[in-house]
Structure 1
């Protein structure tokens, strides 16, 4: 049994050298026989999912993965990513809607995401149904950004070691370990942006990501959480943004009207694309419209392109009223939308 796994199971720290050794041996399939490799990989992920390790171990793990990811090149000026950890109350794909809205008001967006873990549909599931293609390389991402002001980045932004891990686990899948992977995932993606807004649904996720965000040098990371336990900003909840320049507190009603409830933001699994497109045109209820605009405003401020919350929020509201985000989503579709179950 590898020393990294032995230490994790005993709740002992795992240093950077041990993590590097783990990934090296996984790459060369020298952890043991095939069945042993699979068993050790599953045991390691199970241990990480059951209990997040201490901050030093998590930082070492993060470093051991990101240092193996190809350099995406220089960040696109003023660009931003929005991605959440999941695990909170069920809502429709607010971060994807906010990304399209921000792009529609002139904020360059490179969006990362994943398939569903606990939600009805993750951002990748939704984009697939909308007919919007993920980029396959950093060059393709730059091209999409230049043409559309937004790009949805594909798996190439994640450490290749995770792909090897998934192949080692086969026929097991990574889904049982989604709680851990979704928590760490937002800071594992190597995205050529200058800023990132990451929503955290639980105190555990926030505590895990704060030291990692502080040590991230490739982009400025804003971590968000709120009193409702959602991984997006909510107009009817008290929100806090942890930024390198200090905390930003947005009490309920500070920017958008403090009206509505989580029920107004519930997912529509039987009308996934239809409801989402209505939301992009400001026709999915006032709570949905205000929530999308609030998150788009946060992206505008994180990017540095706006400095005033109310100005950014009003600009996003106007775009939703005009249907600009809806039009952008329609232009991005490269194949017919899936209609099954809609």
Structure 2
């Protein structure tokens, strides 16, 4: 794409027009290849953000990201539990802990994540604090998913083609289309996901994007308190993609047989603090963090076909913890990534 053609697409978005999936793929391809200036890249992201990204644009952008990523082989039934970040709440690492509990329940989890966005510690920060080695090659991650039930894909290792965007995004310092793309660009090509989003406006659109991308069973969720996961402080909006159809509904902790919590009970700290909280949950410690982990694990069990409803999912998740299976999944993950298995 020429510089003039790129300028035309930037101007098109800036005037409020939308791009089709081919146009956004072409524009992002040019920028990803380093053929655009930082000013052009920033202007493009801002124009999309101000006007509002469409389902077709997000679909096209995700297709480009997926075409560039370093892939990981994984079983067909592999599930991801992931959030966009950016909810600004600074909670414990719920989806990370839920991934370990789901693995202990016999699932294959391919978790894709990065360093902190809205919390004080992202998934990779906390897993590193737990002793998991992050910079391992794809075959090792495949081993983790198969043998431990859970493998972690650290985004920078799999999306190196996006390196030109990092300084632009850092300088802008605001949410942009990439906050939505990361969670839907899993290197293992998972088709079953629990995806938390930072704003309610994205719940149904992201379900439509994942349908376009070929996902089979998905819950896209946003808590009424702003959390990018299923919350235990009140209701959560869910868009479920199943059998090619999308249904939007609300769930509460009571639906899963869990007590309500206060948001203050879920606020975490740095990587070491959050890692200690995960160890406590895996050791069987009761409390609000365990409850929200059970709820999010239950959702993963539903999309993975292991539970029929939230109550059954919570029961299975609780057994994973109380039997020690979730802790064993973490221990095996640590051993494999550090070459001790």
Q: Which residue of 2 aligns with 1:8?
A: 13
Q: Is 1:221–2:218 an aligned residue pair?
A: yes
Quote the Cα distance in structure 1 between the aligned partners of 2:162 and 2:255.
41
SS class of match (1:233): coil
| Residues 302 and 54 of structure 1, relative CA distance in 2, 3 Å threshold | closer
Q: Which residue of 1 aligns with 2:334?
A: 333
Quote the Cα distance in structure 1 between the aligned partners of 2:139 and 2:119.
31
Aligned-pair distance for 1:192? Answer: 3.4
Is the 2:24–2:57 contact (alpha carbons within 8 Å) kept by the matching residues of 1? no
Q: Give the 5 Å matches for 1:97-176.
A: 97-134=97-134, 136-155=136-155, 159-166=159-166, 169=167, 173=170, 176=173
Question: How big is each residue's C-alpha offset from its partner over 1:18-47, in whole Å with a ceiling of 9 and x where there is no partner?
Answer: 33432443355443xxxxx12212222333
Q: Which residue of 2 aligns with 1:298?
A: 299
| Residues 60 and 331 of structure 1, relative CA distance in 2, 3 Å threshold | closer
Quote the Cα distance in structure 2 between the aligned partners of 1:298 and 1:224.
10
The gaps in structure 2 that reach 5 residues or longer are none
Question: How big is each residue's C-alpha offset from its partner over 1:82-114, in whole Å with a ceiling of 9 and x where there is no partner?
Answer: 001223333100000100001011111111112
Q: Which residue of 2 aligns with 1:234?
A: 231
State the number of aligned residues.
326
| Residues 237 and 72 of structure 1, relative CA distance in 2, 3 Å threshold | same
Q: What root-mean-square deviation, in Å, do the aligned CA atoms of Structure 1 and Structure 2 show?
A: 2.9
Is the 1:198–1:223 contact (alpha carbons within 8 Å) kept by the matching residues of 2? yes
Quote the Cα distance in structure 1 between the aligned partners of 2:32 and 2:319.
50
Q: Which residue of 2 aligns with 1:210?
A: 207
Q: Which residue of 2 aligns with 1:83?
A: 82
Q: Which residue of 2 aligns with 1:340?
A: none
Quote the Cα distance in structure 1 between the aligned partners of 2:240 and 2:211.
9
| Residues 203 and 131 of structure 1, relative CA distance in 2, 3 Å threshold | same
Quote the Cα distance in structure 2 between the aligned partners of 1:310 and 1:120.
31
Aligned-pair distance for 1:296? Answer: 1.0
SS class of match (1:298): helix
Aligned-pair distance for 1:175? Answer: 7.4
Aligned-pair distance for 1:260? Answer: 2.0
Which residue of 237, 240, 243 maps to 1:243? 240
Is the 2:66–2:185 contact (alpha carbons within 8 Å) kept by the matching residues of 1? yes
Q: TM-score, normalised by structure 1?
A: 0.83
Question: How big is each residue's C-alpha offset from its partner over 1:272-300, in whole Å with a ceiling of 9 and x where there is no partner?
Answer: 322221122232x4211111111111111
Is the 2:134–2:154 contact (alpha carbons within 8 Å) kept by the matching residues of 1? yes
